[in-house]
């Protein structure tokens, strides 16, 4: 303790700082201020830049969002444009097909009209030819009726002529089918007329009187028709154009059972029919 006191007595009270020390402090403070100010300014600028970067980032995000929306709309627009283009192409294809179909239809219509006109002309020509043929046949049948009428009873029908070889021209004895010499003379004259004709079919039908059964008379009438047919063939007629049939006691010319009526009903009829007309039984004419 003695030494401390001695030491303190020797050092004495602290001395106040001198002017040089204050300058140093002021200089240091000034240096610190000068250093702090740029740092503050730098920090403030850095903060502003950070805020700007943040705002720019938000703007970029908004822009990207808008760009995405625009891209979606653009893609949608492209899809619609592509669909519209496909629709336009399909419409154009259908239009082309419709035009081709229309052109083909018009061509077919023209061809059909031409064919119809040709058919009408052919029909008119055929009708005129048929009318000419009918007139020629009518004139020929009228002449035949006049010529054959001088030989035996001859009448017109809707399809030709029918000659009745009854008791005035051919006389069949009871239950007989043979021809007498005078019957053959009549048939020879008829064959002479018919042999010059073309385009006709000849039908020979036989009949009997009312005596006997139906079955027997059918056979007897058939024999009479064939006897006349065979003699006509012997005199030059083509057997291929001749048909025979027996009707027995059906369709008598004269009703009754007197000898005169029975003699008339024992007969043969010769039908002359145009071969272009469908033949029918003379009983239905």
Measuring CA to CA, which residue among 206, 203, 225 is closest to residue 275? Answer: 203
Edge-to-edge strand ranges of the sheet holding 242-246: 153-156, 160-165, 268-274, 200-206, 242-246
Residue with tokens 């943040």: 54
Average pLDDT, the chain: 85
Answer yes or no: is pLDDT of 157 > 80: yes
pLDDT of residue 1: 46
Distance CA(65)–CA(128), nearest Å, equals: 91
Residue 132 exposure: Cα atoms within 13 Å on the Cβ side: 6
- On whether the CB atoms of residues 227 and 177 are closer than 8 A, the answer is yes
Per-residue pLDDT band at 190 (split at 50, 70, 90)? very high
pLDDT for position 258: 92
Q: Where are the beta strands (DSSP E) in 78-199?
A: 153-156, 160-165
Residue 176, Ramachandran bin (φ over 0: left; ψ between -120 and 50: alpha; else beta): beta
Query: In 10 A of CB 217, how many CB atoms?
Result: 22
Whole-number CA gyration radius for the chain: 69
Give tens-digit pLDDT for 56-88. Answer: 778 878 877 877 777 788 778 778 878 888 888
Count of beta carbons in the 10 Å neighbourhood of residue 140: 14
Q: Is 163 helix (H, G, I), strand (E, B) or coil?
A: strand
Q: What is the model's pTM? A: 0.57
CATH class in words for 151-284: alpha beta
Coil, helix or strand at residue 150: coil
Nearby residues of 155 by Cβ (< 8 Å), 6 or more positions away: 145, 161, 162, 164
How high is the pLDDT of residue 143?
Answer: 93
208 Cβ neighbours under 8 A, 6+ residues apart: 217, 220, 221, 224, 248, 249, 265, 266
- What tokens does 230 get? 């065979």
The 10s digit of each residue's pLDDT in 98-118 is: 888 888 888 888 888 889 898
Give percent of the chain with pLDDT exceeding 70: 90
Question: What tokens appear for 204 in the block?
Answer: 């020979």
Top pLDDT among 64 and 233 is at 233
């Amino acid at each position: 303790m003695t030494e401390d006191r001695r030491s303190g007595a020797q050092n004495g009270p602290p001395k106040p700082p001198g002017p040089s020390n204050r300058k140093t402090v002021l200089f240091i403070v000034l240096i610190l201020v000068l250093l702090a100010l740029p740092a503050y300014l730098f920090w403030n600028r850095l903060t502003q830049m950070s805020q700007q970067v943040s705002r720019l980032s938000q703007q970029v995000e908004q822009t990207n969002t808008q760009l995405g929306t625009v891209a979606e709309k653009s893609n949608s627009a492209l899809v619609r444009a592509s669909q519209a283009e496909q629709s336009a192409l399909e419409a154009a294809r259908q239009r082309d097909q419709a035009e081709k179909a229309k052109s083909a239809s018009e061509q077919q219509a023209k061809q059909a009209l031409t064919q119809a006109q040709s058919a009408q002309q052919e029909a008119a020509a055929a009708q005129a030819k048929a009318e000419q043929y009918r007139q020629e046949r009518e004139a020929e049948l009228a002449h035949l009726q006049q010529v054959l009428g001088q030989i035996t009873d001859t009448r017109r029908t809707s399809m030709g002529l029918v000659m009745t070889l009854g008791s005035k021209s051919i006389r069949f004895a009871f239950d007989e089918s043979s021809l007498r010499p005078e019957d053959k003379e009549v048939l020879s004259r008829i064959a002479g007329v018919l042999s010059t004709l073309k385009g006709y079919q000849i039908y020979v039908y036989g009949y009997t009187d009312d005596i006997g059964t139906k079955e027997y008379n059918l056979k007897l009438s058939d024999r009479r028709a064939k006897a006349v047919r065979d003699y006509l063939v012997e005199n030059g007629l083509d057997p291929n154009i001749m048909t025979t049939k027996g009707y027995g006691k059906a369709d008598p010319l004269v009703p009754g059972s007197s000898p005169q009526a029975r003699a008339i009903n024992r007969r043969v009829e010769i039908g002359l029919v145009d071969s272009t007309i469908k033949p029918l039984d003379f009983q239905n004419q």
